[in-house]
Amino acid sequence: MMNRFTLILCGLALGACSSVDNTLTSPDGNVSLSFGLTSEGQPEYSVTFLGEQIIKPSTMGFDLKDAAPLTSGFKIDKVTHSQADETWTPVWGENSEIRNHYNTMTVSMSQKDGDTVRKMDIEFRVYDDGAAFRYIFPEQETKQFVITDELTQMAMGGDYTAWWIPGDYDTQEYEYTRSLLSEIRGLSTKDQMNNVSQSVFSPTGVQTSLMLKTPSGKYLNLHEAALIDYPAMHLNLNDTTMTFTSWLTPSPDGTKATFHTPFKTPWRVIMAGDEATDILATDIIYNLNDPCALDDTSWIHPTKYMGVWWEMITGKSSWAYTDTENFDLATFDYSKAKPNGRHGANNANVRRYIDFAADNGFDQLLIEGWNTGWEDWFGKEKDFVFDFVTPYPDFDIKALNEYAKSKGIKLMMHHETSGSIPNYERHLDQAYDLMNHYGYNAVKSGYVGNILPKGQNHYSQASVRHYLDAVKKAADKHIMVNAHEAVRPTGLARTYPNLVGNESAMGTEYQNMSPAHVTILPFTRLKGGPMDFTPGIFEMDLSFAPGNTEHKRATIANQLGLYVTMYSPLQMAADMPEHYAKKMDAFQFIRDVPVDWSESHYIDAEPGEFIIAVRKDKNSDNWFAGGVTNADARDTNLKLDFLTPGSTYEATIYADASDAHFDTNPEAYIITKQQVTSADTLPIHMAPGGGFAISFVIEE
């Protein structure tokens, strides 16, 4: 293969043969990428990791509307190499510094289509833990490109094991399936979920980030970085050749992306590690994004919050104030409407939450169902459901803000858009202005239902553009954003650190998902950025909500462990005050656990089985450890050699009781305290569906 590339390059590169180097190797030499043109003049690459070809020769290119495809006839005009080694400081994160160390190669190419010469460059970067590339369309004679398909292949080196969710233009809210690539077709879960907006496109389509394991035990992950002004990429598998091809979310007219030159596509990324923990630890996705675009980030704060939320999700109370449906918000008179008596966001209840949040050291309180329109929102594809500024009659926004402020709590705004992007964009200025007026500094937005205008999907180019526009506009107004049902993140929080959270996966709102789920998310969904997973459920039997027959499939120690295993600068204590009040000893961990870290280490992990992590608080010398396991119990020993040698710490250990079990005995936990040093080892027991959490408080 190498010889063929070299020969072709020599034949085609304009007199540059001797300087053309078609191989790019990582700084430590473990990852290497080869590039060349096929005999038809199509770009092609392959990737080797620790001597194993993890990506076999894979072709690259595009189909264009009304123009010859960008898949043949290319010649290489220039190849340039360079490297970078820099360290940057994230505004928030798992570590206080991030090293960005790579070798890079840009291949400039051109293709003749009649009299038109099209130019396309491919920029490659190779890191010690992966490889990435993006297409660059320089300024040229063709001013606008209309992409009808991106044809980037990722040819697998074998029938790898994958942790996958079905390719879908609208939702990532699925449980993961673990299978061989060859088994995906037979297991495709097209009808498994019943999401209000769902568009599966192929029985072998999967979403990124896609976690993989080779038969030799290497771990890979395929994702994209810096998704800007372009549709989200899924992957479609040819399960005969084991080759993935990029599959972009379409626009309503069936084309995929339209852009003007100059333009850079998102990065296509292959992460690689010889341990599962390498995939958890890699920062490639953030490193591929641009540095922070905001001059002032002093207003961006990691946040621990509670919410008037779980009581609606479980069905104990309602978002809506009345039971009336089908009306026009502009003319409906709420003062004459009959209250349904179940409205959660009422003055007295909100005050109760404010009191509890303030007494327990929280920063913020989310309140959903505070604004008019909820009677008429669910799955209706109605353009105008919410105006984002009018409170319900029993929610005194001014008085509640003053009360919250007097207690040191900020209220977190909630904007459910009902999927109507046009309506949200029409109201966005006034919605953010209301927040500024009352001093709200964070918004949870949401895009439930089919996206409007009709024909758009959650992950199509126009929607992707909207989500980032909303984040940029929020940054102008010093507002942090936590967007649910938006496109899954691709590291844009490096550039716009006010994007403090996304959902874009199954979170706690799915009440009885399998215990394995939380051992997979950090390998997949979290690679692009933090998730508002909303852990911390303490009352597992949900029958406190009339008619709810479900129960949470997790132990209490598991729920505590998530605050460490599932990194996010935004962590919710999702259960209700009255449930925490019954178990204040366990709740102490949620009070204590930080949301910003100077150092993080993944001790051991296997996707779908377990994760154990330790982190150091950014604002003290205290350490925290957490672990979660799937439906299998697990015993291990945690070596405390991460602690500072010579210091003594008081360890508070929140563990599963010996008879705890996620289904039969989920609320059985034991809390013990002991003094430890870095020379100690702690035995850890995790029950089925369980976990553990430990705080290590340094003694002066």
Q: Which residues are catalytic?
A: 509
Q: Which is nearer to ligand NOJ, 366 or 404 (CB)?
A: 366
Least distance from C-beta 117 to ligand NOJ, angstroms?
48
Least distance from C-beta 503 to ligand NOJ, angstroms?
5
Tell me the site size for ligand NOJ, rule CB under 6 A. 8
Residue 337 CB burial class (10 angstroms; 0-12, 13-18, ≥19): middle
Cβ neighbours of 395 (radius 10 Å): 22
Q: Which is nearer to Ca ion, 242 or 483 (CB)?
A: 483
Q: Which is nearer to Ca ion, 495 or 502 (CB)?
A: 502
The rounded distance, in Å, linking the Cα atoms of 612 and 522 is 11
Binding mask 358-387 for ligand NOJ (x = CB under 6 A): ----------x-------------------
H-helix or E-strand containing 411? strand 410-416
What's the first-to-final CA gap in the chain, in angstroms? Answer: 62
Residue choice 275, 355, 509, 599 for contact with ligand NOJ (CB under 6 A): 509
Residues 6 or more apart whose Cβ sits within 8 Å of residue 680: 640
Residue 183 binding result from Ca ion, ligand NOJ, none, given CB thresholds of 5 to 8 Å by partner type: none
Residues of this chain, 229-248, that bind Ca ion according to CB under 5 A: none
Binding mask 634-673 for ligand NOJ (x = CB under 6 A): ----------------------------------------
Query: Helix crossing, 584-592 with 556-565: angle to 10°?
Result: 0
Tokens of 376: 């008429």
Q: Which is nearer to ligand NOJ, 49 or 392 (CB)?
A: 392
Least distance from C-beta 394 to ligand NOJ, angstroms?
19
The rounded distance, in Å, linking the Cα atoms of 63 and 500 is 36
The rounded distance, in Å, linking the Cα atoms of 186 and 214 is 20
Q: Which is nearer to ligand NOJ, 195 or 678 (CB)?
A: 195
Residue 193 binding result from ligand NOJ, Ca ion, none, given CB thresholds of 5 to 8 Å by partner type: none
Q: Which is nearer to Ca ion, 301 or 484 (CB)?
A: 484
Do residues 586 and 569 touch, judged by C-beta distance below 8 A? no
Tokens of 256: 């995929």
Residue choice 503, 596, 609, 617 for contact with ligand NOJ (CB under 6 A): 503
The rounded distance, in Å, linking the Cα atoms of 688 and 658 is 10
The rounded distance, in Å, linking the Cα atoms of 488 and 497 is 15
Residue 633 binding result from ligand NOJ, Ca ion, none, given CB thresholds of 5 to 8 Å by partner type: none
Q: Which is nearer to ligand NOJ, 484 or 525 (CB)?
A: 484
Residues of this chain, 460-479, that bind ligand NOJ according to CB under 6 A: none
Q: What is the torsion angle, in degrees rounded to the nearest 10, for the CA atoms of residue 149, residue 150, residue 151 and residue 157?
A: -130
Residues 6 or more apart whose Cβ sits within 8 Å of residue 258: 144, 145, 146, 147, 251, 461
Least distance from C-beta 2 to Ca ion, angstroms?
47
Whether the bond between 453 and the residue before it is cis, its omega within 30 degrees of 0, is yes
Any idea which residue has 């690689």 for tokens? 272
The rounded distance, in Å, linking the Cα atoms of 324 and 417 is 20
Q: Phi and psi at residue 559, in whole multiples of 5°?
A: -60, -35
Work out whether 484 is an interface residue with ligand NOJ (CB under 6 A).
yes
- Report strand pairing: 43-49 vs 52-59: antiparallel
The rounded distance, in Å, linking the Cα atoms of 222 and 154 is 9
Length of the chain: 700
The rounded distance, in Å, linking the Cα atoms of 635 and 295 is 48
Least distance from C-beta 446 to ligand NOJ, angstroms?
4
The rounded distance, in Å, linking the Cα atoms of 100 and 21 is 23
Least distance from C-beta 368 to ligand NOJ, angstroms?
5
Any idea which residue has 């002032």 for tokens? 296
The rounded distance, in Å, linking the Cα atoms of 154 and 325 is 49
CA neighbor of 688 nearest in space, from 640, 628, 648, 618: 628
Q: Which is nearer to ligand NOJ, 182 or 340 (CB)?
A: 340
Q: Which residue is nearest to ligand NOJ (CB)?
A: 416
Q: Which is nearer to ligand NOJ, 512 or 678 (CB)?
A: 512
Assign 560 to helix, strand or coil. Answer: helix
Least distance from C-beta 484 to Ca ion, angstroms?
5
Q: Which is nearer to ligand NOJ, 239 or 532 (CB)?
A: 532
Residue 368 binding result from Ca ion, ligand NOJ, none, given CB thresholds of 5 to 8 Å by partner type: ligand NOJ
Least distance from C-beta 219 to Ca ion, angstroms?
28
Tokens of 395: 């929610």
Residue 150 binding result from Ca ion, ligand NOJ, none, given CB thresholds of 5 to 8 Å by partner type: none
The rounded distance, in Å, linking the Cα atoms of 47 and 269 is 11
How far, CA to CA in Å, does 16 sit from each of 8, 11, 75, 135, 492? Answer: 12, 10, 12, 22, 37
Residues of this chain, 291-350, that bind ligand NOJ according to CB under 6 A: 309
The rounded distance, in Å, linking the Cα atoms of 174 and 191 is 11
- Report strand pairing: 691-698 vs 681-686: unpaired
- Any idea what the Cα angle at residue 195 is, between residues 189 and 196, rounded to 5°? 145
Residues of this chain, 414-453, that bind ligand NOJ according to CB under 6 A: 416, 446, 448
CA neighbor of 312 nearest in space, from 248, 253, 360, 368: 368
Residues of this chain, 133-162, that bind ligand NOJ according to CB under 6 A: none
Least distance from C-beta 20 to ligand NOJ, angstroms?
50
Least distance from C-beta 509 to Ca ion, angstroms?
6
Q: Which is nearer to Ca ion, 31 or 506 (CB)?
A: 506
Q: Radius of gyration over alpha carbons of the chain, in Å?
A: 26
Least distance from C-beta 419 to Ca ion, angstroms?
12
Q: Which is nearer to ligand NOJ, 532 or 617 (CB)?
A: 532
Do residues 593 and 615 touch, judged by C-beta distance below 8 A? no
Residues of this chain, 456-515, that bind Ca ion according to CB under 5 A: 484, 503
Tell me the site size for Ca ion, rule CB under 5 A. 2
Residues of this chain, 515-554, that bind Ca ion according to CB under 5 A: none
Binding mask 438-467 for Ca ion (x = CB under 5 A): ------------------------------
Least distance from C-beta 114 to Ca ion, angstroms?
49
Do residues 6 and 22 touch, judged by C-beta distance below 8 A? yes
Residue 528 binding result from ligand NOJ, Ca ion, none, given CB thresholds of 5 to 8 Å by partner type: none
Under the phi-then-psi rule, with left for phi > 0, alpha for psi from -120 to 50, and beta for the rest, what region is 478?
A: left
Residue 416 binding result from Ca ion, ligand NOJ, none, given CB thresholds of 5 to 8 Å by partner type: ligand NOJ
**Footprint on this chain of Ca ion (rule: CB under 5 A):** 484, 503
Report the interface residues with ligand NOJ, using CB under 6 A.
309, 368, 416, 446, 448, 484, 503, 509
